[in-house]
Structure 1
Amino acid sequence: MGSDTIMKHRIARWMEDHRGLIVVLVVLPLSNIFSAVMQLRHWIFHRFISAPENHDERVIAIQKQVMRWNKWPKVKRKLMCTARPNWQSLSTTFFAKELCHRITIPLYDILELKPSHMTIRVEPMVSVGQATAFLVPRGYTLAVCLEVAEATLGGLAMGVGMTTYSHKVGLYQETIVAYEMVLADGMLVRVTRDNEYSDLYYTLPWSHGTLGFLVALELQIIKIKPHVKLEYIPVKGQKQYCDMIRDLSGALDKHRATPDYLEATVFSKEEAVIMVGKFVDVPYNEQYKINHVTRWYKPWFYKHVEKFLKKGRGYEYIPLEDYLLRHNRSIFWVVETMIPFGNNLLFRYLLGWLLPPKIAFLKFTTTPGVRAMTFTKQVFQDIVLPMTHLEDQIDKCAELLDVYPILVYPCRLYDHGPHRGQLRPPRKDQKVPGTNYGMFNDLGVYGVPKLVREKKRFDAVHVMRELERFTADMGGYPFLYADTFMTRKEFEEMFDLTAYEQVRHKYNAERAFPHLYDKIKPEIDVVKVGKQYMDPL
């Protein structure tokens, strides 16, 4: 190992040992300045430029950009992508947009609320936070509402999303009534599950912008009450908590009445807290049980949940908007890896208002060196796996990573027939008896593996490839926002790309947009870099 490499390792190790101080003194202040600038930019845009009534004009301008591209000589045409900077997405990767022809998509407006249809029509750059602030005061929320306010509704549509309502409705894609797309030839089409573009409807989810440009979405909403009564159920014993969440989700019986919201946080192989949420009006004599969990001085939500392991079963009332964004302040439990003392009472009261560090800022300031180092020291993975094997999932994570907490969200995975999208139909043994869906779950694994915490040898490449093999064997799928270690052949064996390739050919996307694998694969050589950063000094 050369002297330059040794020095880089030592600097990296110093930064690891003092990351909390660096984040508090440098990252958080700059992140908030960055956020203020971005908010001012958005305010100027919405105040002076943007207007829902001008949506059609903005779409026509996008069509013209694509049509101009079509008129160029074929030898001069680069593949197209959006001009949105990489740092504005939640993906951990940095797609090489500079190699593409970038199309500007300035679409940030909520267009129309349709209470009679129980839908909302939005432009793709509308964020979860923006939609939540608009809908909740009107008595609605998105059927699938991600917990991270920065996520965009269009990004989730082209990727994937699920939440604690997904045991009722499935993945985010199941709640999309219509997509409005500009195709490779510049044509604007409305895509639904039962019109002439139904083949496109089923392949747009998990396509990551490789089939066309999304210009509007119509999404399912649900009627709400102002508060969620959230019951915390601590459970000891792996089989006990796995059986309980399977039962509560309806995975064992399609007739079982299920709660409005359902999730589990696993704190060790043998301990978990299951949370059951129900829309309610708070009784007058229980107003004191209302908990605004997102206020800056409150304990991070998962730390609040952990207390019930000792306190025992309990419940409280959480304002719905607080509940929907309950994990935003600590980005689930990722912030703890940056600020180990961030949940300290004194820190929360003095500096808690600075949280969370803005994901866009963290990406904006990520250098190639930092990018190469961090993926070997931390794990950020969401994986869709069958709940029939929940125990195996927990065991495999303990074996490979030993990272806690682990997030578990039950979710329906529907059988739409063979070759109707990138996900294969659930196998017969995975289906809920008498239904056309299997009960799967999101396994959210975020944090620093135990070997890294102990400053021991950690082979990130081997571990992640083992986790991918396990996922494939279980009939599951990793969310593609995170780094993948699969070869193209392995990727095409895990995902069903039959319909995707047919649609790319039918709508001329193969000559206009990058292939899905090329769009989501890491921009760095993960195997080479993983080996370089494996040995502790």
Structure 2
Amino acid sequence: MIPSSIKNRLIQWLEDHREFVVCAFCLPASFLFTLILRIRNALRRFYSDPQRHDTAVREIQARVQQWNKLPDKKGRLLCTSRPNWLSLSTTFFEKHLHHRIPIPLYDILELDETAMTVRVEPMVTIGDITEFLIPKGYSLAVTIELVDATLGGLAFGTGMSTHSHKAGLYHETITSYEVVLGDGSLVTATADNEYSDLYKALPWSHGSLGFLVALTLKIVKVKPYIKITYTPIKGQKNYCDLLREVSGANQAKPIYFPDYIEGTIFSKDEAVVMTGDYSDYDSNITVNHCSRWYKPWFYKHVESFLKKGETVELIPLRDYLLRHNRPIFWVVEDMLSFGNHPIFRTLFGWLLPPKPAFLKFTTTPGVRAYTFTKQVFQDIVLPIHELEKQIEISTELFDKFPLLVYPCKVIDHGPSSGQLARPQAKYMVPGTNYAMYNDLGVYGVPGKVKDKKPYNPVRAMRAMEKFTRDVGGFSFLYADIFMTKEEFGKMFDLSLYEVVRKKYRAEGAFPHLYDKVKPEIDVFSIGEENAISDQ
């Protein structure tokens, strides 16, 4: 056992020399780790065979049925055997306390160009599907920016992209779910079949209702490039108004309704609004392969337009879709302040980003508890008409810029239609069945921590969650939540979920949603013990 005095000095040394540790150990080890995973995935693709899908699903069913026959389950509910470190969630679900079922499903099963859908197994990643679809002239209607995100994980969680002001949240693009239930039966849930109630409850269920074995997603026709306009704006109301105008928050058919919209807020008074449309090559416009390893980090490139003024570029579609992957938005800057320097990018940019799976793989409970108090990583979905308030409270609580803003329509499907509560009437776009919300992305080390000012992560996040509940917003559940079960039930509508759990034999077979997504650590005690005192 390491004496606490030595342990504290070691932790302090690691914190003081974080950049040395990242360069000397984290990046090379992460690169090798990534290489091993790529070789494994390449071998898996080499031996893959979509024709084996039915056989693999029957094996999953058989394992669930065998679990049902165990005389004494000792409270061991079902979960997948996928290691925690492969998940992009910030939490570490305690799988060792559960009965784990392998879900070895990694294949793209069918492209239907008539129906404009693609059927995939749940372990297909964003990297896989973009490589498959884009050369054929297609893309998912909602493509998350991180290559390692799995389509199944997003289906039971959720996500949004800069196309979501048109397409909505990720789950709105799913036409069917194929699910193994708690008794081992296989069902296909769609919006208009006998399992329509299950179809509504599966998004945001995080694997608490069944095992996903295939899903069908909408695709859209695309062109090779995105023609993107960078518009720098001063004045908070000015950039907030522009985001509302182009996203269609004020009227259903705005004068200009771009294919892609993104806002990067660099301070309370300065932002760059990006609007993009599908485009063919145009020799009169500069082409920016922004995702290449030696190029400036995308958000730094965006920041340059605060001085340059409005500019138009062409970005190859896959480069655009994965533009935030290298710096993990702007999280890498807190690990490596010189990571965007031209010399570093030229010599070592190919090592980036540190693999999220590697970072989780090497995270011990002690490191998890320590880092929890030193950083924030949250995506919060809020009505875009409250954007000014969002920025104010985020600045007060976290003092962290840039802030990410993606407009996204949230559709009102009526009462008891899933875990997302219905949008409030005052936020609805006139003449439609949806309200315009936005993702507020807050990532990295809060300014108060950097400046060693009073900061309590629990109090800050609970204040943010209260604001979110008050305006009818919701938190993405891949990140740590700080709500009690009662508060969780106020943010999310669990009425249909609880009915579906009983009806489809998930109760007693799978963990409850709240238990599945709550942090595995005691956030309240750790936050109080380790945070910089604000008394």
1:41-52 to structure 2, matched below 5 A, reads 41-48=40-47, 50-52=48-50
> What do residues 446-479 of structure 1 show as CA deviations (whole Å, max 9, x unaligned)?
0111110012331111111111111111110010
Q: 1:216 aligns with which of 214, 217, 226?
A: 214
Deviation, 1:285, is 3.7
Matched pairs, number: 531
Q: Paired residue for 2:526?
A: 529
SS at match of 2:507: helix
Deviation, 1:409, is 0.2
Q: Which amino acid aligns with 1:274?
A: V
Deviation, 1:73, is 1.9
Q: 2:138 aligns with which of 93, 116, 140?
A: 140
Q: Which amino acid aligns with 2:104?
A: P
1:26-65 to structure 2, matched below 5 A, reads 26-48=25-47, 50-65=48-63
Is contact 1:265–1:406 with CA below 8 Å preserved after alignment? yes
> What do residues 94-141 of structure 1 show as CA deviations (whole Å, max 9, x unaligned)?
000011000000000111111101111000000001100111000000
Deviation, 1:283, is 2.0
Q: Which amino acid aligns with 2:375?
A: Q
Q: Which amino acid aligns with 1:124?
A: P
Q: Paired residue for 1:377?
A: 374
Q: Paired residue for 2:344?
A: 347
Q: Paired residue for 1:117?
A: 115
C-alpha distance in 2, partners of 1:16/1:261? 39
Deviation, 1:76, is 4.3
Q: Paired residue for 1:196?
A: 194
C-alpha distance in 2, partners of 1:5/1:249? 53
Is contact 1:384–1:476 with CA below 8 Å preserved after alignment? yes
Deviation, 1:7, is 4.5
C-alpha distance in 2, partners of 1:110/1:326? 24
> What do residues 399-440 of structure 1 show as CA deviations (whole Å, max 9, x unaligned)?
101100000000000000111101111111010011100000
SS at match of 1:511: coil
Q: Given the two structures, how large is their TM-score scaled by the length of structure 2?
A: 0.98
1:237-386 to structure 2, matched below 5 A, reads 237-256=235-254, 257-286=256-285, 289-386=286-383
Deviation, 1:489, is 1.1
Q: CA 1:295 to 1:75, structure 2 compared with 1: closer, same or farther past 3 Å?
A: closer
C-alpha distance in 1, partners of 2:396/2:365? 30
> What do residues 312-352 of structure 1 show as CA deviations (whole Å, max 9, x unaligned)?
00010000000000000101001111111100110000000
Determine if the alignment matches structure 1 residue 520 to structure 2 residue 517: yes
Q: Paired residue for 2:78?
A: 80
Deviation, 1:36, is 1.0
Q: Using the TM superposition, name which of 527-536 and 70-79 deviates more.
A: 70-79
> What do residues 34-71 of structure 1 show as CA deviations (whole Å, max 9, x unaligned)?
111111111222213x2111111111111110111111
Q: Which amino acid aligns with 1:381?
A: Q
C-alpha distance in 1, partners of 2:403/2:83? 31
Q: Which amino acid aligns with 2:318?
A: E
C-alpha distance in 1, partners of 2:283/2:276? 19
Q: Using the TM superposition, name which of 291-300 and 71-80 deviates more.
A: 71-80
> What do residues 68-106 of structure 1 show as CA deviations (whole Å, max 9, x unaligned)?
111122554620000000000000000000110000000
Determine if the alignment matches structure 1 residue 495 to structure 2 residue 514: no
Is contact 1:69–1:77 with CA below 8 Å preserved after alignment? no
Is contact 1:228–1:320 with CA below 8 Å preserved after alignment? yes
Is contact 1:29–1:354 with CA below 8 Å preserved after alignment? yes
SS at match of 1:509: coil
Deviation, 1:4, is 4.9
Q: CA 1:9 to 1:243, structure 2 compared with 1: closer, same or farther past 3 Å?
A: farther
Structure 2 residue ranges without an equivalent (≥5): none
Structure 1 residue ranges without an equivalent (≥5): none
C-alpha distance in 2, partners of 1:316/1:164? 17
> What do residues 356-400 of structure 1 show as CA deviations (whole Å, max 9, x unaligned)?
111001000001111001111000000010001000000001110
Deviation, 1:284, is 3.1
SS at match of 1:95: coil
C-alpha distance in 2, partners of 1:11/1:196? 59
Q: Paired residue for 1:177?
A: 175
Percent identity of the aligned residues? 60
Q: Given the two structures, how large is their TM-score scaled by the length of structure 1?
A: 0.97
